Amino acid sequence: MGIPHLVPYCASKFALVGLSDALRHELRRYDIRVTTVCPGLMRTGGPMHALFKGRHESEYAWFAALDALPPSSISAERAARSIVRALRQGRARVTLSLPAKLCVAADALSPALTAAAFDLMNRMLPRPTDATGDAMAFGWDSRGKAPRALTRLSDRAAERNNEVAAFAEQPQETTTVGAGG
């Protein structure tokens, strides 16, 4: 799905789905199976390593909350079990989280309604900024507006996956991206 504020991420996933679909067809004659996994949001601690621009604290807050809450994300352990099951069954494609499954089904039933829902979602997300919004910040530098109560499960996943040590060792700087750069 094309999700507002996640354009580069979505573009890369669309490319990977196309690559695996093509490989699946080409490799089938050699009895090689290709399974495409579309997980949706997984609680791994990843938002701390993501780069945010614009109103980076607000962007981080909504993304980290969605990534951490069980209704909108899936635990990495549950995802792993589902992936292994799909591989054993030889499935061509598996969509893991409930929200991802619902989005795919809604888009198949009514693309116009799904587009309207994402347009509404985009209006609720942080607005673009002026040139000061060109500065990029890692999630760990953007945690200011994210309520800890909402990100607790993702924070625990970061500890389990040794993501905390990884971001604590990184230099606490931001990179500024200028026009054309």
Domain assignment present for 131: yes
**Half-sphere exposure of residue 20: CA atoms within 13 angstroms, side-chain side:** 15
At 49 the pLDDT is 81
Evaluate whether 58 touches 139 at the Cβ level (below 8 Å). no
Range of 148's domain? 7-167
Domain assignment present for 115: yes
Domain assignment present for 1: no
Number of domains composing the chain = 1
Looking at this protein, which amino acid is placed at residue 152?
R
Evaluate whether 157 touches 75 at the Cβ level (below 8 Å). yes
Domain assignment present for 181: no
pTM: 0.74
Domain assignment present for 109: yes
Domain assignment present for 176: no
Domain assignment present for 41: yes
Evaluate whether 53 touches 133 at the Cβ level (below 8 Å). yes
Per-residue pLDDT of the chain (181 residues; tens, 9 = 90+): 888 888 888 899 999 999 999 999 999 999 999 999 998 888 888 888 888 888 888 888 888 888 888 888 999 999 999 999 999 999 999 999 999 999 999 999 999 999 999 999 989 888 878 777 778 888 878 877 777 888 888 888 888 887 765 555 554 444 333 333 3
At 142 the pLDDT is 81
